[in-house]
């Protein structure tokens, strides 16, 4: 059970609802007998090794609830991926401060950190309860039906593409929007959620679950443009060819890499720029525009899913309950059991740690450049009702008198 001092931290990319999980865990832990203090580590595991803590026991419930409604990581975050030595340093600090329970809100890497810490505590025979609280806009945590942070980010992507499509309808041409998600296409797939009419965009959706071929891509874009006089395209940042090489590596003369040597897929507009240039040179179409949605997707103030907000709070509270009543470490996981109902379980850390979930085949169109009705059924309850874009009636067109042909 939770005892002594409790520590909570946030890791990885922020989300619009990550602070709901923070508040849920802190408030529930503070109610439990035997809990002396609840600390928060600034900037994730880096703050732990630096002993940079806040005493969240002294925060009022009202302020925690207001912080919960604020996007982004209130404690600060980190991209550090601790190895065994790093985790041993974390463990020394936890022991020195008498931490009996550690909650870490994050994705794949955060759950792997807890897995290592859990093993270190077991070897040292130190009573440490490690509970992972799920969070990622990529929606790529295994075992989970979906992950807190994804529904709000998906709502933003759907709304943004609806707006981009309206713009593209007014000033026709080709528009390419590059979306986050790394190796999972869930967020890019959400670009299609606001479509209502048969010719609404995005008309083409490219996901990392399918190999990307430049010749096929250009052919699809040109065919759509010839048919509709315009084309809106959603592309995942993680698209790759049949060899697994990211398309950005193929197109760019130089690519950025992160601190861990991985190709920098996020935080740069390179892929959108490179694809627009490829379309211009490969099709001869002049009006081609591209955007990279970037960090806007993660913590947008005005686009929060109410389902996401509620479930993010609940996984935090459930983490504190599991710490008290479950006699094991683990990761809180979300399971869909109805339409629309979810349940929460405590799953083994090694079932989630360091693993990546991708979109199932049934969610992706056989053409490889769109999503299916099964995806809409999966995602729409999470995102909630979207704003509706209405059109003027084409039936009210006035007949021509001079009969001049339309300029292109």
pLDDT at position 174 is: 98
Q: DSSP letter for 405, please.
A: P
Compute the distance between CA of residue 328 and CA of residue 98 in angstroms, rounded to an integer: 19
Residue 176 shares a structural domain with residue 288: yes
pLDDT tens profile 241-253: 999 999 988 787 6
Residue 268: its pLDDT value, please?
A: 56
Q: How far apart are the C-alpha atoms of 34 and 120, rounded to whole Å? A: 24
User: Do the Cβ atoms of 7 and 99 come closer than 8 Å?
Assistant: yes
For residue 186, pLDDT over 80 is answered with yes
Is 365 contained in some domain? yes
Is 90 exceeded by the pLDDT of residue 406?
Answer: no
CA atoms within 13 A on the CB side of 149: 32
Provide the pLDDT confidence category of residue 294 given band limits of 50, 70 and 90.
confident
Q: So what's the pLDDT on residue 33? A: 93
Number of domains in the chain: 2
CATH of the domain at 368: 3.40.50.460
Place of tokens 């990319």: 13
Across the range 383-406, mean pLDDT stands at 89
Q: Could you give the CA distance from residue 27 to residue 41 in angstroms, rounded to a whole number?
A: 16
- Mean residue pLDDT of the chain comes to 93
How does 42-76 read in b/e, with b if 16+ C-beta sit within 10 Å?
bbbbbbbbeeebbebbebeeeebeebbeebbbbbb
The answer to which of 7-21, 207-221, 252-266 has the lowest mean pLDDT is 252-266
pLDDT tens, residue by residue, 159-175 = 999 999 999 999 999 99
pLDDT at 209 over 80: yes
Q: Provide the 3-class DSSP secondary structure of residue 74.
A: coil
Q: Are residues 223 and 366 in the same domain?
A: yes
pLDDT of residue 152: 98
Residues in Cβ contact with 45 at an 8 Å cutoff, skipping those fewer than 6 apart: 9, 11, 78, 80, 82, 86, 90, 104, 113
What crossing angle do the helices spanning 214-228 and 270-283 adopt, rounded to 10°?
70
Residue 316 lies in a domain: yes
Return the H-helix or E-strand segment holding 85: helix 84-96
Contacts with 60 (C-beta within 8 Å, 6 or more apart), sequence order: none
Pairing of strands 53-55, 174-179: unpaired
260 pLDDT above the threshold of 50:
no
In a domain, 400, yes or no: no
Structure confidence at residue 251 (pLDDT): 81
- The pLDDT value recorded for residue 2 is 59
Give domain status of residue 393, yes or no. Answer: no
When pLDDT is averaged across residues 177-199 and rounded to a whole number, the result is: 96
Domain residue limits at 166: 151-297+359-383
Question: In the predicted model, what is the mean pLDDT of residues 101-117?
Answer: 96
Are 213 and 185 part of one and the same domain?
A: yes
CA distance 137 to 237: 13
Both 120 and 175 in one domain: the answer is no
Q: Is the pLDDT of residue 66 over 90?
A: yes
Per-residue pLDDT band at 338 (split at 50, 70, 90): confident
Task: Report residue 254's pLDDT band, with 50, 70 and 90 as the boundaries.
Answer: low
Same domain, 288 and 309: no
**Does residue 200 register a pLDDT over 80?**
yes
Q: Higher model confidence: residue 71 or residue 265?
A: 71
Q: Are residues 260 and 324 in the same domain?
A: no
Written as six digits, the tokens of 185 are: 């296409």
Residues 378 and 261 both lie in one domain: yes
pLDDT score at 404: 72
Q: Is 138 a catalytic residue?
A: yes
CATH code at 39?
3.40.50.450
Return the pLDDT at 313: 98
* 55/200 same-domain check: no
Task: Say if residue 92 is in the same domain as residue 221.
Answer: no
Are the C-beta atoms of residues 359 and 207 closer than 8 Å to each other?
Answer: yes
Asked whether residue 33 is assigned to any structural domain, the reply reads: yes
Q: How far is CA 315 from CA 6, 10, 15, 137, 180, in A?
A: 17, 14, 14, 15, 24
Based on the domain organization, do 91 and 236 belong to the same domain? no
Q: What is the mean pLDDT of residues 128-153?
A: 98
Whether residue 335 has pLDDT greater than 50: yes
Which residue of the set 80, 109, 138, 200 is catalytic? 138
Q: In this structure, is residue 392 part of a structural domain?
A: no
**365 and 347 assigned to the same domain:** no
Shared-domain flag, residues 200 and 258: yes
- Please tell me whether residue 51 adopts helix, strand or coil conformation: coil
* Within-domain flag for 39: yes
- The pLDDT value recorded for residue 255 is 54
Asked whether residue 394 is domain-assigned, the answer is: no
Identify whether the C-beta of residue 107 lies closer than 8 Å to the C-beta of residue 81.
no
């Amino acid at each position: 059970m939770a005892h002594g001092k409790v520590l909570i931290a946030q890791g990885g990319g922020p989300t619009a609802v990550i602070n709901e999980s923070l508040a849920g865990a802190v408030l529930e832990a503070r109610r439990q007998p035997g809990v002396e203090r609840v600390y928060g580590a600034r900037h994730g595991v880096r703050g732990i090794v630096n002993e940079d803590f806040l005493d969240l026991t002294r925060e009022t419930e009202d302020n925690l609830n207001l912080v919960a409604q604020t996007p982004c990581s209130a404690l600060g975050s980190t991209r550090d991926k601790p190895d065994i030595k790093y985790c041993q340093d974390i463990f020394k600090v936890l022991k020195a401060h008498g931490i009996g329970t550690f909650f870490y809100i994050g994705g794949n890497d955060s759950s792997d950190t807890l897995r290592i810490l859990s093993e270190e505590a077991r070897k040292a025979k130190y009573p440490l309860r490690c509970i992972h609280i799920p969070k990622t806009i990529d929606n790529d945590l295994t075992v989970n039906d979906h992950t807190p942070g994804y529904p709000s980010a998906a709502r933003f992507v759907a709304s943004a593409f609806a707006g981009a499509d309206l713009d593209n309808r007014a000033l026709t041409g080709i528009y390419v929007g590059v979306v986050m998600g790394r190796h999972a296409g869930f967020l890019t797939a959400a670009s299609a959620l606001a479509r209502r009419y048969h010719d609404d965009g995005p008309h083409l959706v490219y996901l990392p679950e399918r190999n990307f071929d430049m010749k096929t891509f250009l052919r699809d874009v040109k065919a759509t443009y010839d048919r509709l006089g315009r084309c809106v395209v959603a592309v995942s940042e993680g698209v790759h060819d049949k060899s697994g090489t990211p398309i950005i590596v193929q197109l760019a003369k130089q690519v950025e890499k992160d601190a861990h040597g991985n190709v920098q897929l996020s935080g740069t507009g390179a892929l959108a720029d490179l694809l627009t240039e490829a379309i211009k040179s490969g099709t001869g179409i002049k009006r081609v525009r591209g955007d990279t949605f970037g960090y806007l997707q993660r913590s947008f103030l005005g686009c929060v899913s109410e389902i996401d907000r509620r479930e993010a709070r609940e996984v935090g509270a459930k983490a504190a309950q599991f710490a008290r009543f479950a006699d094991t470490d683990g990761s809180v996981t979300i399971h869909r059991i109805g339409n629309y109902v979810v349940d929460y379980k405590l799953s083994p850390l090694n079932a989630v740690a360091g693993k990546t979930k991708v979109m199932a085949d049934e969610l992706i169109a056989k053409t490889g450049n769109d999503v299916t009705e099964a995806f809409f059924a999966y995602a729409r309850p999470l995102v909630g009702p979207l704003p509706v874009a209405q059109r003027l009636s084409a039936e009210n067109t006035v007949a021509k008198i001079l009969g001049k042909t339309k300029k292109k």
